[in-house]
Amino acid sequence: MNGFRKEFSTLTLVLIPVAIAINVAIGQLAITLKLPLYLDSIGTILVGVLVGPWAGAITGFLANVVWTLSGLFPQAIAWAGVAAIIGALAGAFGRAGWVNSWSRAALAGIITGFVAAILSAPIAAYVFGGVTGTGTDAVVAMFRSAGLDALGANLGQGAVSEPLDKAISFVVVWAVMLALPLRFKNRFGNVEE
């Protein structure tokens, strides 16, 4: 609990809603631009890397609560736990120094993406009957037609989309961290420089 307390200064509390707003704004941007990516967890990953695993987890969880409450994507709440784990992983990778170079950041993203895929698939398979109600359902259908069951097809879909999405998100966060003033980064202290 000590680490938890340390991460939650007023500054962190203010940072988290801003990060959630970044998730939503860039996620919607990706949709508008018809990118085959979600890009809806950049804020979550940023908080994880900058502040730490606890703050990252809370950001991920509450981001999905906000997606639901806003009415933009009501089913998001079902994946809130997965989003929390993405944030926590970002915190751990940040603390381990993986986000100090773009290549390791990308690797951290790929690993996080696979974890996210594995955790998300059972939710889609068992809560939502094997779909997510989004465009990626076409990919799920493809895997089903190849003979996979609901869980397998959703795993397959996740394994295709998530690692690339999270790798790009981590690299964006790496770039943002480079651009942030040292004075600001020092206020949080998850990353040793």
Does position 68 interact with other proteins (CB under 8 A)? The reply is yes
Does position 101 interact with other proteins (CB under 8 A)? The reply is no
Does position 141 interact with other proteins (CB under 8 A)? The reply is yes
Letter for the amino acid at 155?
Answer: L
Stretch that binds other proteins, among 86-94, 98-106, 110-118, 130-138 (CB under 8 A): 130-138
Cα dihedral angle (108, 111, 114, 120), rounded to 10 degrees? -60
Task: Name which of 159 and 176 has its Cβ closer to other proteins.
Answer: 176
Q: 23, 40 in Cβ contact below 8 A?
A: yes
Does position 29 interact with other proteins (CB under 8 A)? The reply is yes
Long-range contacts of residues 73-78, Cβ cutoff 8 Å, at least 24 apart = 75/128, 75/132, 75/133, 78/123, 78/127, 78/128
**Residues near other proteins (CB under 8 A):** 8-11, 13-18, 20-22, 24-26, 28-29, 32-36, 42-43, 46, 58, 62-63, 65-66, 68-72, 74-75, 128-134, 137, 140-141, 144-145, 168, 172, 175-176, 179-180, 182-184, 186-187
